Amino acid sequence: MGSSDLDVCAYFERAAEALSLSDDVREILRHPTRSVAASIKVRMSSGAIRTFPAWRTVYSNALGPAKGGIRFHPSVNADEVATLSFLMTFKTSLAGLPFGGGKGGVAVNPRDLTSHELERLARGYVRALRYDLGEGRDIPAPDVNTNGTVLAWMADELAALEGTARTAGITGKPVSLGGIEGRAEATGRGAAKVVHTLRDHLGLGDKAALAIQGFGNAGAQFARDMVAEGYVITGLSDSSGSVVSRDGIDPVEAETYKREHGGLKGFADPAPDDDLRQADCDVLVPAALGGWIDGDNAARVAAGAVVEISNQACTVSGGDALEDRGIHVVPDILANAGGVSVSYLEWAQNLSGMQMSRDEVFADLDARMVRIAKAVAQRADEDSTGLRDAAYRIAALRLADALEAMGTQRLFNE
């Protein structure tokens, strides 16, 4: 990976130095295991052929088959996919899951496609990568602009190519097609459990105020769960604009308004300069695309804590700038690990044939998120460091133990 501002490998380098990891482990985890590029040909409704560039990267499979979403977005490129696969590697390790990390994407605006064209694209992605995907190799899931229907098409295509009816090679499917109850709520619910567990570490009092950038599925679920715990939502934003209210925002009313008006704009007072980073709140929660807080705009953040529900919400320099100001940052590999935790349960359910109820899924999810949040906070206190460094040290150590078990330079020089 490169050395740009988006090079999250810097987080691993810091952990490796703090843990005195071996040169072998450092060399292995500095580079993706496998990156594949493909050109997907789609017959459009007009009869013409269009080609869409696509990628899939497995950063590491040291702990098990790779796990990671597939996003459909115009800005997707090889570097972004590699970065996200790195984050997934450390996220699954931190969560204690039997997975490595992967990620995929297609450079496309799905809103420009008809439903038929979108299905051809989804199935074409699987055909292009058929030898790389599978329940024991690399297991995709939903991400930006992909949903249960898209993943159902992919699961059906992969099963047909493998000559099986089992669909464990894809997660995030509709419940009726092998999905699992609670997957849609998992990311937002998991993030809420993390924040509530860390409330003392973050210095949050009763009715702490939160502002959420990105009021999609994860952001809305997080808002509902946090309000149920007694917190107050004072700011929200989506692609239409940012709104604030000192009296608090009812997330259910905000969702209804967004459905009826196509966005949040006009639901409440506009945020200062239409920039939720400046909102007067205790916790700022980026829950949209990454890179929203960088080294230039981190100075605008007024909150005392930032919770990264979106992947890489802060660039490396942005996150460092926040911590230099004494602002707590709950890293993405902790805050949004709820999604992959429930994807693991779906995968296990598909393999075993056992069925889990929604209550069972939530009990497992809640226990896992509380456990890893407490572990990260304890490590941060013991090492007198931030939550991100603590999380990466825990994750890096588990990866290092697996790699060391295969033998390093020390073994071969004995």
**Mean pLDDT in residue range 235-244:** 94
Is 3 or 175 the better-scoring residue by pLDDT? 175
pLDDT band (50, 70, 90) for residue 6: very low
Catalytic residues: 103
pLDDT the model gives residue 270: 93
CATH 3.40.50.10860 fits domain 33-168: yes
pLDDT tens per residue across span 78-96: 999 999 999 999 999 999 9
3-state secondary structure the chain: CCCCCCCCHHHHHHHHHHHCCCHHHHHHHCCCCEEEEEEEEEECCCCCEEEEEEEEEEEECCCCCEEEEEEECCCCCHHHHHHHHHHHHHHHHHCCCCCEEEEEEECCCHHHCCHHHHHHHHHHHHHHCCCCCECCCEEEEECCCCCHHHHHHHHHHHHHHHCCCCCCCCCCCCHHHCCCCCHHHHHHHHHHHHHHHCHHHHCCCCCCEEEEECCCHHHHHHHHHHHHCCCEEEEEEECCEEEECCCCCCHHHHHHHHHHHCCCCCCCEECHHHCHHHCCCCEEEECCCCCCECCCCHHHCCCCEEECCCCCCECHHHHHHHHHCCCEEECHHHHCCHHHHHHHHHHHHHHHCCCCCHHHHHHHHHHHHHHHHHHHHHHHHHHCCCHHHHHHHHHHHHHHHHHHHCCCHHHHCC
d(C-alpha 68, C-alpha 140), whole Å = 5
pLDDT the model gives residue 411: 72
pLDDT tens per residue across span 255-305: 999 999 999 999 999 998 899 999 999 999 999 988 999 999 999 999 999
pLDDT for 4 beyond 80: no
pLDDT tens per residue across span 92-147: 999 999 999 999 999 999 999 999 999 999 999 999 999 999 999 999 999 999 99
pLDDT the model gives residue 201: 98
pLDDT the model gives residue 1: 40
Tokens encoding 302: 């007024």
Can 33-168 and 185-332 be said to share one CATH topology? Answer: yes
pLDDT band (50, 70, 90) for residue 200: very high
**Mean pLDDT in residue range 35-47:** 97
pLDDT tens per residue across span 149-167: 999 999 999 999 999 998 9
The answer to whether residues 337 and 158 touch, using CB atoms and an 8 Å cutoff, is: no
pLDDT for 5 beyond 70: no
Domain ranges of the chain: 33-168, 185-332
pLDDT the model gives residue 316: 95
pLDDT the model gives residue 378: 98
CATH 3.40.50.1010 fits domain 185-332: no
